[in-house]
Structure 1
Amino acid sequence: MTEYFFLLILSFVMLVGMSAYLWHLYKLKKKSGDSYKIEIKNILALVFFILLSGALFVHSLLDLPNVLANKTEQYKGNCEVWVFESARGGHTSVEFENHNIMFPENYQGAEEGSYYCEVEYYPRTETGKSLKLYETKGGELLSSK
């Protein structure tokens, strides 16, 4: 849950910061007239980051009521597990039906493959809260988070 709030706050700070910087450039240009020119690539880069952080903020904001109320959806059934490793630890992706649930940290003990899963996740952002992996239905618990 801390990853969710970190992403929400970071995207909000980026959105406000980039918007304020664009406003500052506009005011600076207006104050000094045509003598100060802003390169189009700088404006496009700022607009790109504003749109990116805005989309990330809105996407994260959609699940805020579910996160605060601890309202999750559950799935039990067959799934595919994908482990992505990087220098920062990576993440785990669980695919079932039409869903792709992401777990921010690398799920310890999980290996790529087909399992019987019990997944608890936030429905709008499809961010995982808990995961239990079984070799088969009713089989031994391989790992859980």
Structure 2
Amino acid sequence: MAQYFSLLILSFVMLVGMSAYFWHFYKLKKKNGDSYKIPIKDILGVASLFLLSGTLFVYSLLDLPNVLADKTKQYNGNCEIVIFSNVRGGHQEANFGNHSISFPENYQGAEEGSYYCEVEYYSRTELGKSLKLYQSKGGKLINKK
């Protein structure tokens, strides 16, 4: 759930920041008169970040009722665990063909590989809430929290 709220807060901060930057361009143009030209690369860069952050914020906001009500979906079946590492810690995914459920990196000590999984996740953002890995269906539980 912390991953969801950090995504929501980050996208909101980006949206507000880009809005403030647009306001700065407007005030600068008004202050210097109509002859002041804003470089097109600056306008395109800010506009693309504004649209990206707005889209991310709306996308995250769609799952807010499910997160607050703790309404999750469950999936049981074979899955592939993949770990993505980067400078900021990365993340881990449980892939089920059409779905890729995201978890924080090294969630419950899981390692890359094929398992039988029981997953609880939020449906719109596909952020995972809980993950149980088994060697096979009806087999031994591998990860314990």
With normalisation by structure 1, the TM-score equals 0.92
Q: Secondary structure at the match of 1:52?
A: helix
Instruction: Give me the whole-angstrom Cα distance separating, in 1, the residues matched to 2:100 and 2:48.
Output: 26
C-alpha displacement of 1:113? 1.6
Gaps of 5+ in 1: none
Instruction: Give me the whole-angstrom Cα distance separating, in 2, the residues matched to 1:114 and 1:144.
Output: 17
Aligned identity (percent) is: 72
Q: Secondary structure at the match of 2:121?
A: strand
Gaps of 5+ in 2: none
Instruction: Give me the whole-angstrom Cα distance separating, in 1, the residues matched to 2:91 and 2:16.
Output: 28
C-alpha displacement of 1:111? 2.0
Q: Secondary structure at the match of 2:94?
A: strand
Instruction: Give me the whole-angstrom Cα distance separating, in 2, the residues matched to 1:20 and 1:87.
Output: 28
Task: Determine if contact 2:93/2:101 at 8 Å carries over to the other structure.
Answer: yes
Deviations 1:104-134 (A, max 9, x none): 2322432222111000000000000100000
Aligned match of 2:28: 28
Aligned match of 1:40: 40
Aligned residue-pair number: 145
Instruction: Give me the whole-angstrom Cα distance separating, in 2, the residues matched to 1:108 and 1:59.
Output: 27
Within a 5 Å distance, the mapping from 1:1-145 to structure 2 comes to 1-144=1-144
With normalisation by structure 2, the TM-score equals 0.92
C-alpha displacement of 1:144? 4.1
Classify 1:85/1:31 alpha carbon distance in 2 versus 1 (closer, same or farther; 3 Å).
Answer: closer
Partner letter of residue 57 of structure 2?
F
Q: Secondary structure at the match of 2:12?
A: helix
Deviations 1:1-60 (A, max 9, x none): 122112111211211121122122113212321342211111111001101111110111
Deviations 1:71-98 (A, max 9, x none): 0000111111111223433211101141
Classify 1:87/1:43 alpha carbon distance in 2 versus 1 (closer, same or farther; 3 Å).
Answer: closer
Instruction: Give me the whole-angstrom Cα distance separating, in 2, the residues matched to 1:43 and 1:55.
Output: 18
